DNA sequence: CTGAAAGCGCTAACAT
DNA sequence: ATGTTAGCGCTTTCAG
């Protein structure tokens, strides 16, 4: 491996000069800089990130917390899509991405320790149990962090607009003439709380009274849970005409269940998903769903985090709410037209 | 940040002794070792991976090449599933994972340079253009690599059994009574070549002559391409009774097209996917498809690479073929029973 | 069994 | 405008 010392020797200058040239310092004459840079390229010089990090305390490496319990992380298109956008934005800014786990080697490490161990400049936290003390420790540490879809007491967070999302859905299906609207929501998380709030808020504004058994607990990305909850809804005396699901993936469990009952979508039962993943547009019928802007979420997470890392003086914690939009598919029947 | 120097001071020993204790050297008395380790823990010591790497030339970090052109990487459940398995196996062995890209900072870097820059101990190559000279350069370098689904002249590779996969499919649908079997394959890659070979081999063995226009080019993970190819197949004078698709995701484009033509699956046309992603089991009808063992692929890639890194003397390049299995769904009609 | 010392490759004062 | 020098935190000969 060739190093700056070798370049210095070849160029007949000191290693400090080489370092300055390579880093584009302005205290060097442009000729020397050019000469050194060209020689470096000729010699096939590759900088050593570790040496630089050791000296500067800056790794240009960002950690990501993506815990995949029950395969609802990387496997979930919502998150893999955010991850992809995050990756692209980080790379564009000269940062690499390393996964932060709680297991390095046999000796367990907390997330904070792992982040320190790898000297990451910051961490993007997505898709974890936000109540986990280890996660809280990390967020409260001196390491810059950005959370996705969860806010810690004023911390920097990028959040998809879950309240509006559900409001939009409810208002839309209401306009379509639906009054008996059921909501199968995901497990108890901050996102779920927001969606429930949006759901109830919209219903209240529209003067709808939703029976308690129209609101069921399912699970994100778990089709079977949606199927189970759907079965319960279908067995009610007074069935809903429209069911809102946790996401575009788990909705499949519900749709299957509905069809098993010999009912058709949307003629007998209307269904609405959430996320707007690519799949939602490939299914027949095309899903009516709320599209979350994963590209923006990933990009903003990267940008906010990098801003905090690079210009800490100008930094202030901020919650960025990313709007989504309704995708009008073919899974909601218009009761008005039907009449 | 507390460092070994601090521990040394507190324990009244030299930093060399602390280093040895922390690394479990056997040249120390067990008492000192224990005492030092306990003090380190009390003081909240976290090792610095960069310093260690700089000294030892071992980063315990593995690079992964996952280029997501046209969103067919991270977004593709086949790959995200392999990535997940890879991540779990690496972490279990004390390795972290960093994405290797060709863009770090504004100044472009080749994959090899990037890998060197970050001092990764090895690289897992999946989901790239294997003909890219930059990728070839990396594989031919001194850095240990493992490729997935592609073999470079005897390089270490984990490959899903694409030949057998297609053979199994063809034989199965043949047994179901199908003779007019069409195959929409993905773009020109090594995987595609293997699948085509499997397809033709099985057909030959079964004495089937497949018309040229039964074999169409589609694209992995692109539903529209499958839809387009399907339209062509359906417009043939002598239509196939069964269509095999590039994967379980792109098949959706084909299924939609079939339904648009007023045909039903599997009564009018049978369809077969590939991959066996979770989605395939959630769709109605459940897909008949070939399940690839992504867990094994990811795990083996990690294990082989780590073996090469840790015991280079015992290493020899090897191609591991990972078997899959047919998933019998409801998208292939048995023509025998129908008669 | 323990310690002193050199150095991994690089940067950044601080000279000159 | 260029060079000298002192480390960043750690491991590892080699001495004691």
Calculate the average pLDDT of chain B.
93
pLDDT at A67: 83
pLDDT at A66: 87
Nearest chain A residue (CA) to B94: A105
What is the percent of chain B where pLDDT is above 70? Answer: 96
Angle at A320 between CA A315 and CA A323, to 5 degrees: 160
Q: B72 falls in which pLDDT band (50, 70, 90)?
A: low
A61 with B98: Cβ contact below 8 A: yes
Angle at A52 between CA A50 and CA A58, to 5 degrees: 95
Footprint of strand D on the protein (CB under 7 A): A 12-17, 20, 27-29, 32, 51, 54-55; B 1, 3-5, 15-16, 19-20, 22-23, 45, 47-48, 51-52, 54-56
Q: Is B150 on the interface with A (CB under 8 A)?
A: no
Q: Convert B107-131 to b/e letters by CB count within 10 Å (16 or more is b).
A: eebbbbbbbbbbbbbbbbbbbbebe
Q: A71 falls in which pLDDT band (50, 70, 90)?
A: low
List for chain B the helix, strand, coil content (%; round to 5).
45, 15, 40
pLDDT at B336: 73
Q: What is the mean pLDDT of residues B215-227?
A: 95
Question: Whole-prediction pTM value?
Answer: 0.92
Q: What is the mean pLDDT of residues A208-233?
A: 96
Q: Is the pLDDT of residue B71 over 80?
A: no
Q: A248-262: per-residue pLDDT in tens?
A: 999 999 999 999 999
What is the percent of chain A where pLDDT is above 70? Answer: 96
Give the CA B24 to C1' D16 distance in Å. Answer: 22
Residue A311: count of CB within 10 angstroms of its CB: 9
pLDDT at B42: 94
Q: B274-312: per-residue pLDDT in tens?
A: 999 999 999 989 999 999 999 999 999 999 999 999 999
Q: What is the mean pLDDT of residues B225-248?
A: 97
Q: Is B189 on the interface with A (CB under 8 A)?
A: no
Give the alpha-carbon dihedral of B154, B307, A91, B130, to 10 degrees. Answer: 10
Question: Please, are residues A112 and A138 in contact by the beta-carbon 8 Å criterion?
Answer: yes
pLDDT at B66: 87
| Span of A59-73, B84-98, B119-133 with lowest mean pLDDT | A59-73
Pick from B49, B92, B119: CB nearest A103: B92
| Span of A169-178, B62-71, B322-331 with lowest mean pLDDT | B62-71
First to last CA, chain A: 77
Chain B residue numbers touching A249 (CB-CB < 8 A): 279, 282
The Cα A149–Cα A158 span in angstroms is 6
Q: What is the mean pLDDT of residues A58-72?
A: 83
CA atoms within 13 A on the CB side of B147: 23
Question: Please, are residues A246 and A226 in contact by the beta-carbon 8 Å criterion?
Answer: yes
Q: A257-308: per-residue pLDDT in tens?
A: 999 999 999 999 999 999 999 999 999 899 999 999 999 999 999 999 999 9
Crossing angle of the two packed helices B30-43 and B15-22, in degrees rounded to 10: 90
The Cα B263–Cα B256 span in angstroms is 10
Q: A339 falls in which pLDDT band (50, 70, 90)?
A: very low
Q: What is the mean pLDDT of residues B237-256?
A: 96
Q: Is the pLDDT of residue A21 over 50?
A: yes
Give the alpha-carbon dihedral of A277, A279, A280, A283, to 10 degrees. Answer: 180
Question: Please, are residues B150 and B159 in contact by the beta-carbon 8 Å criterion?
Answer: yes
Q: Which residue is nearest to nucleotide D7 (CA to C1')?
A: A55
pLDDT at A212: 95
| Long-range contact pairs involving A22-30 (C-beta distance under 8 Å, separation at least 24) | A22/A47
Looking only at the bridges linking them, the beta strands covering B289-291 and B325-327 are antiparallel
Pick from A74, A97, A104: CB nearest B98: A97
Q: B205-216: per-residue pLDDT in tens?
A: 999 999 999 999
Q: Which of residues 33-62 of A touch strand C (CB under 7 A)?
A: 45, 47-48, 51-52, 54-56
SS3 state of residue B231:
helix
Q: Is the pLDDT of residue A106 over 80?
A: no
Phi–psi pair at B266, nearest 5 degrees:
-100, 5
Note which residues in 265-304 of chain A have CB less than 8 A from chain B: 278-279, 282-284
The Cα A79–Cα B254 span in angstroms is 26
More confident residue, A76 or B326: B326
CA atoms within 13 A on the CB side of A137: 12
Q: B73 falls in which pLDDT band (50, 70, 90)?
A: low
Q: B31-43: per-residue pLDDT in tens?
A: 999 999 999 999 9
A75 with B84: Cβ contact below 8 A: yes
Q: A30 falls in which pLDDT band (50, 70, 90)?
A: confident
Q: Is the pLDDT of residue B219 over 70?
A: yes
pLDDT at B87: 93
Of the candidates B169, B332, B181, the residue with the CA atom closest to the CA atom of residue B265: B332
Q: Is the pLDDT of residue B339 over 50?
A: no
Calculate the average pLDDT of chain A.
93
């Amino acid at each position: 491996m060739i190093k700056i010392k070798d370049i210095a020797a070849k160029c007949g200058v000191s290693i400090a000069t080489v370092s300055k040239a390579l880093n584009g310092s302005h205290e060097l004459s442009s000729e020397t800089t050019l000469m050194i840079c060209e020689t470096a390229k000729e010699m096939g010089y590759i900088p050593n990130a570790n040496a630089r990090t050791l000296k500067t305390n800056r790794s240009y490496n960002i950690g990501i917390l993506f815990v995949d319990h029950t395969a609802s992380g990387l496997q979930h298109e919502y998150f893999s899509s955010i991850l992809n956008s995050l990756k692209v934005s980080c790379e564009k800014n000269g940062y690499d991405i390393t996964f932060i786990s709680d297991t390095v080697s046999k000796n367990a490490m907390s997330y904070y320790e792992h982040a320190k161990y790898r000297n990451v400049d910051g961490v993007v936290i997505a898709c974890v149990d936000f109540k986990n003390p280890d996660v809280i420790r990390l967020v409260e540490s001196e390491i810059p962090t950005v959370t996705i879809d969860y806010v810690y007491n004023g911390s920097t967070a990028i959040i998809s607009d879950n309240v509006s999302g559900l409001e939009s859905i409810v208002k839309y299906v209401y306009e379509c003439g639906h009054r008996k609207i059921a909501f199968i929501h995901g497990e108890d998380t901050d996102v779920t709380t927001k969606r429930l709030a949006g759901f109830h808020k919209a219903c209240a504004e529209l003067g709808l009274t939703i029976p308690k058994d129209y609101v069921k607990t399912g699970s994100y990305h778990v089709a079977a849970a949606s199927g189970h909850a759907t079965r319960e809804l279908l067995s009610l005396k007074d069935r809903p005409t429209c069911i809102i699901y946790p996401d575009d993936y788990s909705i499949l469990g519900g749709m299957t269940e509905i069809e098993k009952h010999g009912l058709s979508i949307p003629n007998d039962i209307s269904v609405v998903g959430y996320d707007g993943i690519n799949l939602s547009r490939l299914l027949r019928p095309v899903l009516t769903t709320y599209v979350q802007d994963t590209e923006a979420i990933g990009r903003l997470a990267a940008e906010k985090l990098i801003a905090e890392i690079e210009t800490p003086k100008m930094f202030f914690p901020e919650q960025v709410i990313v709007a989504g939009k309704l995708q009008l598919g073919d899974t909601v029947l218009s009761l008005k037209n039907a009449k």
